[in-house]
Structure 1
Amino acid sequence: MHQFYPLTVSEITPLTPNAVDISFEIPESLKEAFAFESGQYITIKHTVGDSEIRRAYSLSSKPGGNKITIGVKKVPGGTFSVYANQTLKKGDVLQVMPPQGRFLFAADGPPRDILAFAAGSGITPIMSIVQTALESCTENKVVLVYGNKSREEAMYFDALQELKEKYNDRFFVYYLFSRNQEEECLFGRIDKSTVNYITRNKHKSITPDTFYLCGPLPMIETVTAALKENGVSEKNIQRELFTEPDSEAPKGTETSGKTHLEVTLDDAVHTLEIDREKIVLDALIKAKIDAPFSCQGGVCSTCIARVTEGKASMVKNQILTESELAEGFILTCQAHAESAVLKIDYDDI
């Protein structure tokens, strides 16, 4: 269900002093498996010493063709991000899971306008969405607000400028830099005043079909609140979190005692006893049950499962909707068991 495939690195291009663009060849036999919609991500599995790590990276390339591309920003103290920026080279092979995710822009449908807010490496899925939106329909309009510390740290700056020149009547990009003042760019961070400036002033004549927000949690919360104050419906806002929440037990959660856990995965049933204080996914990994996961921080949705019996509480949730929660879905990387018996199903999603 969540199989990894060996893909060859076909190209590595520096984007900033701390970020690279990595492309993978997609052989003909895997084109169907790696078909994707703009906004989705892949999961990379890599071994460092005796430890396996998995990381989710959004695709910056547009759908179609024989390659996929991701942008990887080096994180101080990071494992794979440092390796990708300093050691990885063309011709290397990495284990990659096919694209997933629900932060989507579908190319079909009637003409529409979109407004996107991105900060830092949150630009990666937005790059794919912007290209697809502009190329799929000559009537689509795209407004992008992109925040960074400085021009030097802005991933895909040159590519965005090329798109701006090519689609000058339909693509409008506004850069914000928090540490440098630059000509024709805004100064500071993306905040409520930025949202109001774009929606009430610069582009008040545009009525976006969808709002795409991608970046750290504070930015997403600020922009979401400002958009709602301006009358934007929750259903028209798509969010992709690019930071990892803590994984401490929720306050008020009963974490003492044991739980009998039953897991359905790839048509097989696994049973084990777990401590309620443990994260469900961590317990499965320790038991060497090959459950699907990627970020382990509640940022992606790779580890989603349905609770079919019992109760589990999540540390944090920035992904699942109210209706999905009502249907029993959980992110197992954020979930603690709260009942004597807990049954979850990875196949029923």
Structure 2
Amino acid sequence: MHFHSLTLSSLTRPTRDAVVLGFALPEALQERFRFTPGQYLTLQAEVQGETLRRPYSICSSPAERELRVAIKRVTGGAFSNWANERLAVGDLISVLPPQGRFTLPAPQGPRHVLAFAAGSGIPPILSIVQHTLATEAQSRCTLFFGNRSHSSTLFREVLCDLKDRYLERFQLGFVMSREHQDLELLNGRIDAAKCAAIFSRWVPLARIDQVLVCGPESMIDAVCGALASAGFPPARVKTERFLAAAPTQRRRAAPQAAEPAEVLSEIVVVQDGVRKSFQLARDGLSILDGAAAAGIELPHSCKGGICSTCRARVLEGEVEMDLNYALEDYEIAQGDVLCCQSFPQSDRVVLDFDQP
């Protein structure tokens, strides 16, 4: 998978601390950038002399000609601040084709999708809701969207327009933590207690076919905990965590056991049919950062165990993975790992990036 230079065709500011970037796709790239609602783009840019990559979820629907992502300014976030302050229509940006698995399964009939989002977790859910309502005439969507206030709510007008267009099939609840609303259920944060109240008084889970949750980890854990307590099947819950900023390198502390200070492993990576190898200390960098230090560029984006761009399959040897928010149990069982979170545990490790 390779980066493509896309022209920034539109730039809008839905709130004072966010920007929506639109990309016009040339005919030759239309098929390459075809996406499923819920997927993301990886953007790459030179910011203050450093090459940065960040994943941003697509907020447009496949029916639109323009591909759009939203970037909310993050305190101390090098890429988000650069995008909000420096980008202009006509600029060229390096973009990877769509990736990600925060998507709905193919419909087997009419369904009711329940979604929870908070802050900048709304873009992929907006794309999914728009597409579902437009293409599944008998399906319903219910969304609870948490923010501090109405003025800080991304895509508020777009969501309200959707509600007006699909009055019978789209329920929308804005949950505000710093702005009082008449309905008490919609005041505060989206936590386990609020979810339990929603399930008992507003949206009985017996009527729900699929649940989507996107936002900060604390909100996701609260919603998933409430769903589990209510007996909702975890296989019908999809989550996507947002990581504000990733560390530039993942490094482990040296072990306390009395083994040599540096034990090296041979790492062999297979990418696009080409094999490359390098040496990596077991108590040092992650496989992803070790490859970069050796001059080998591997697919990556978030570096936080969330996006799965750096997924590879272990063909030989053993690795230990720290964080994992992206891989399913069956994928781990077949040997898939996230290289940004993986460290060698054997003398030789062979990783295949060409596995589907």
TM-score, normalised to structure 2's length? 0.93
Q: 1:297 aligns with which of 304, 315, 322?
A: 304
Amino acid at match of 1:63: P
Contact 2:205 2:232 in 1 (8 A): no
Amino acid at match of 2:303: Q
In structure 1, runs of 5+ residues without a counterpart are none
Structure 2 residue 278 is the aligned partner of structure 1 residue 239: no
2:208 counterpart residue number: 208
3-state SS of paired residue (2:145): strand
Amino acid at match of 1:297: G
3-state SS of paired residue (2:222): helix
In structure 2, runs of 5+ residues without a counterpart are none
Q: 1:324 aligns with which of 331, 349, 354?
A: 331
Instruction: Give a deviation string over 1:221-250, Cα, whole Å, max 9, x none.
Output: 111111011111111010111026775649
State the superposition RMSD in angstroms. 2.0
Q: Could you tell me how far apart the structure 2 residues matched to 1:77 and 1:200 are?
A: 40
* Higher alpha-carbon deviation: 44-53 or 304-313: 44-53
Q: Could you tell me how far apart the structure 1 residues matched to 2:117 and 2:253 are?
A: 29
3-state SS of paired residue (1:98): coil
3-state SS of paired residue (2:98): strand
Amino acid at match of 2:290: A
* Higher alpha-carbon deviation: 261-270 or 282-291: 282-291
Change in CA separation of 1:192 and 1:205 when aligned onto 2, cut-off 3 Å: closer
Q: Could you tell me how far apart the structure 2 residues matched to 1:189 and 1:316 are?
A: 26
1:346 counterpart residue number: 353
Q: Could you tell me how far apart the structure 2 residues matched to 1:311 and 1:188 are?
A: 46
| Superposition pairs of residues 1-349 of structure 1, within 5 angstroms | 2-105=1-104, 108-184=107-183, 186-204=186-204, 207-243=207-243, 247=250, 249=252, 256-276=262-282, 277-349=284-356
Q: Could you tell me how far apart the structure 2 residues matched to 1:188 and 1:215 are?
A: 16
Determine what percentage of the aligned residue pairs are the same residue: 36
Amino acid at match of 2:29: L
Q: CA deviation at 1:286?
A: 1.5
* Higher alpha-carbon deviation: 205-214 or 249-258: 249-258
Change in CA separation of 1:252 and 1:169 when aligned onto 2, cut-off 3 Å: farther
Instruction: Give a deviation string over 1:67-92, Cα, whole Å, max 9, x none.
Output: 10111100111111111111101111
Q: CA deviation at 1:332?
A: 0.5
Change in CA separation of 1:250 and 1:323 when aligned onto 2, cut-off 3 Å: farther
Change in CA separation of 1:22 and 1:184 when aligned onto 2, cut-off 3 Å: farther
Q: CA deviation at 1:278?
A: 1.0
Q: CA deviation at 1:251?
A: 11
Q: CA deviation at 1:205?
A: 7.4
Q: Could you tell me how far apart the structure 2 residues matched to 1:335 and 1:253 are?
A: 19
* Higher alpha-carbon deviation: 196-205 or 331-340: 196-205
Q: Could you tell me how far apart the structure 2 residues matched to 1:87 and 1:65 are?
A: 26
Amino acid at match of 1:264: V
Amino acid at match of 1:321: E
Q: CA deviation at 1:309?
A: 1.1
Instruction: Give a deviation string over 1:111-168, Cα, whole Å, max 9, x none.
Output: 1110001111000100000101111112111011111122121111111111111111
Change in CA separation of 1:327 and 1:204 when aligned onto 2, cut-off 3 Å: same
Instruction: Give a deviation string over 1:303-330, Cα, whole Å, max 9, x none.
Output: 0001111111112111111111111111
* Higher alpha-carbon deviation: 337-346 or 106-115: 106-115
